[in-house]
Amino acid sequence: MSIAENLQQIRGRAEAACLRAGRDPREVTLIAVSKTNPASAVCEAAAAGQTDFGENKAQEMCAKQEECPKGLRWHFIGNLQRNKVKYVVGRSVLIHSVNSPQLAREIERVSAARGLISDVLLEINIADEASKHGTGETSAEELLRAAAALPHLRVRGLMAVPPPADTPEENRPYFRKMRQLQEKLKALGLPGVQLSELSMGMTGDFETAIEE
Ligand SMILES: *Cc1c(COP(=O)(O)O)cnc(C)c1O
C-alpha cells in the first residue's frame, strides 16, 4: 500500500472510532510517527496532506526538517535528555515527554533565552512500569504544579505509552485512567494550564484511545 492509501485508510478508521464515541473527528490529531523513516517518506506523506509528524531523536528531527517542506508540524515524542533540549525548543510544536521538574526547568531556561513559549505535555507512567520514563499517577500533580509555575512553558495535556498489548482492548483501562487523570488535574484550575490534549494510542490501539 502507498503512504497516501495507508493514510486514507487510517483516517477512515479514526473517523469511524470518533463516530462510535460521539466525538467530532476534528478534535483528533493524527501524528504520523516518522522516526526511523527517511525524509523522503515524510515528503510523500506531506504531499498526501499529512501535517503532523512525530520524532523521538532530537538530531534526527532537525536533520529531517532541513530536507522536508516548511510548515510541517513536528512533535517530539521520545525521551528528551536535558542536554538535547536546545535542539528541540523552537523546532517542535509540542514536546510530549516532560517527565521531571528538572526537564521542565531546562525547557523553561532555553525557551526564555530564545523568547519563546513552549507547548508541552506531561508524560505519565500510567501502568506504573519500572522500565518506563514518566511520572507516576500520584506524582503527576506535583509535576504539573512545577511546570505550571514556569512562565515559558504551556502545559497542554498529558501523554502516555501503555505496555505492549496483544489486543487493542487490553490498554483500554489505561486510556480511561488517563482521561480520569486529565479531569482530576483540570479540576485543580491552575492558571495558564489548559490540559485539553491527551497524546495516546499507537498503530495497534489508536481506535481504542480515540474512543476513550
Ligand atoms: C514509536 C512511537 C510511536 C509509534 O508507534 P507505532 O506502533 O509505530 O504506531 C508512538 N508513540 C511513541 C511515544 C513512540 O515512541
Cell of 207: 481506535
Whether residue 8 is contained in a domain is answered as no
> Is residue 66 one of the residues assigned to a domain?
yes
Distance (Å) from CA 20 to ligand 1 centroid:
24
Number of domains in the chain: 1
* Mean pLDDT for the stretch of residues 143-166: 96
Strands (E) across 115-170 are located at 118-123, 153-159
Domain carrying residue 113: 29-211
Residues with CB under 6 A from ligand 1: 33, 35, 56, 77-78, 161, 202-203
Tell which one of 3, 30, 33 to mutate to probe ligand 1, the residue whose CB is within 8 A of the most ligand atoms. Answer: 33
Spacing, Cα 147 to ligand 1 middle (Å) = 25
CA-proximal residue: ligand 1, atom 15 (nearest): 78
* Nearest atom, ligand 1, residue 96 CA: 13
Chain segment 33-74, per-residue pLDDT in tens:
999 999 999 999 999 999 999 999 999 999 999 999 999 999
Give the model's pLDDT for residue 109: 98
Q: How confident is the model at residue 129 (pLDDT cuts 50, 70, 90)?
A: confident
Going by pLDDT thresholds of 50, 70 and 90, the confidence category of residue 137 is confident
Instruction: Count the neighbouring beta carbons within 10 Å of the beta carbon of residue 59.
Output: 11
Is residue 2 in a domain?
no
pLDDT at residue 146 is higher than 90: yes
Domain contains 129 = yes
107-125 as b/e: b if 16+ CB within 10 A: bbbbbbeeeeebbbbbbbb
Asked if pLDDT for residue 88 goes beyond 90, the answer is yes
CA 33 to ligand 1 center in whole angstroms: 6
Structure confidence at residue 24 (pLDDT): 98
Please report the atom of ligand 1 found closest to the CA of residue 97. Answer: 13
136 or 105, which is more confident? 105
Q: Considering the domain boundaries, does residue 71 fall inside one? A: yes
What integer is the mean pLDDT of 103-113?
A: 98
The C-alpha cell at 61 is 528531527
- DSSP-derived letter for residue 135 is B
Q: Ligand 1 centroid to 17 CA: how many Å? A: 19
Q: What is the CATH number of the domain that holds 89?
A: 3.20.20.10
Residue 19 in any domain: the answer is no
pLDDT at res. 96: 98
Q: Is the pLDDT of residue 86 over 90?
A: yes
Write the residue with the smallest CA distance to atom 10 of ligand 1: 202
Residue 89 included in any domain: yes
